[in-house]
Amino acid sequence: MLIPLALLRRCCPLFAFLLLSLLAVAPAVADPAGRIGRIAWLSGSVHLHRADSGESSSALLNWPISSGDVLSTGSGARSEVQIGSTSVQLDSASVLEFVEVDDQRIRLRLLDGSVIVRLRSAEAAGEFELGTRDGGFSIREAGRYRFDVDRSTVTASVHAGSAHFANGGSALEIGAGQRVQMSNDGRTRYQLAAPLADDFDRWSSARERQASSAVHARYVSPEMTGAADLDAYGNWSESAEYGAIWFPRTVAADWAPYRSGRWVWVAPWGWTWVGDEPW
């Protein structure tokens, strides 16, 4: 369709005025969250139910985790999710819902099984909550926490740090070295000795030792999801032109970025590269 130039000149000021008016009253669209989770480790049968698509499938290394996703482990399986500097480890036969993962908070709900949570900063601790069928736990300080849910009990173990439990009108403070077990009938039993240790705890401690290097903190924010793995799988170098550069170790001679992996659609961010490499 052809529009006479004279008509276009007369209409442009009116069009511009109408466009600016619409922009002024249009609702602001919130930016997607800058923080997202990542499946950093898995072994055995691990499944992911994605909130954005409603689909369930076998979980893959490096897959993004966002609000509403549910991760479950089969018998003998384990997994670890990193969200910023926070690590969330799932034991065998566990079901964990990531209720809310954004820049302000991390809210999880443990439906069954066991998880160990490592919170590495006071800020991350203050943003973290974990819910169960019997109530919710908020974290008072950085530390290491374990939560167990089965048919009859909910148990919280504080290896380091402190936590607060609330259920309706009741509340409970849990300090370092305490293990608290709550049964479905509302009775609460306290153990003030050191929390119990099993194979899951030992596996978690070994993972923690592997991630204890802090070299990456000199170059990137520790709150960058997956930053700790950079030390395990690569080296840092200083460049006069570009500054700090990280490059991987032990890769094929023809290795190149964006070659081994896949592009996936992850709402609300859009197309996202999920690499096969362990970092």
Q: What is the pLDDT of residues 180-220, one digit of tens each?
A: 988 866 565 665 667 888 999 999 999 888 766 667 778 88
Q: Are 100 and 83 in contact (CB under 8 A)?
A: no
Average pLDDT in the 230-246 region? Answer: 87
Give the Cα separation of 231 and 182 in Å (integer): 40
Give the Cα separation of 62 and 96 in Å (integer): 17
What pLDDT score was predicted for residue 99?
97
What pLDDT score was predicted for residue 17?
47
pTM of the model as a whole? 0.82
Conformation bin of residue 118: beta by default, left when phi > 0, alpha when psi is -120 to 50 = beta
Average pLDDT in the 215-243 region? Answer: 83
Give the Cα separation of 227 and 220 in Å (integer): 7
More confident residue, 250 or 180: 180
H-run or E-run covering 160: strand 153-160
- pLDDT score of 73 more than 50: yes
Q: Please report, rounded to a whole number, the percentage of residues in the chain having pLDDT higher than 90.
A: 48
Q: Are 157 and 137 in contact (CB under 8 A)?
A: no
Q: Which amino acid is present at 53?
A: S
Distances (CA, A) of 116 to 50, 130, 195, 206: 22, 11, 12, 13
* pLDDT-based confidence at residue 111 (cuts at 50, 70, 90): very high
What pLDDT score was predicted for residue 229?
82
Closest listed residue to residue 35, CA positions, set 80, 81, 71: 81
> Is cis: bond before 268, omega within 30 of 0?
yes
Q: Are 243 and 41 in contact (CB under 8 A)?
A: no
pLDDT in tens, 22-70: 555 554 556 777 789 999 999 999 999 999 888 899 999 999 999 999 9
Give the Cα separation of 255 and 168 in Å (integer): 55
Query: In a 3-state reduction of DSSP, which class is residue 247?
Result: strand
What pLDDT score was predicted for residue 42?
96
- pLDDT score of 114 more than 90: yes
Average pLDDT in the 80-84 region? Answer: 95
Of 20-29, 112-121, 161-170, 240-249, the range with the lowest mean pLDDT is: 20-29
Q: Are strands 128-132 and 106-119 parallel, antiparallel or unpaired?
A: parallel
Q: Are 74 and 42 in contact (CB under 8 A)?
A: no
Domains and CATH numbers, the chain: 37-208 (2.60.120.1440), 213-275 (no CATH)
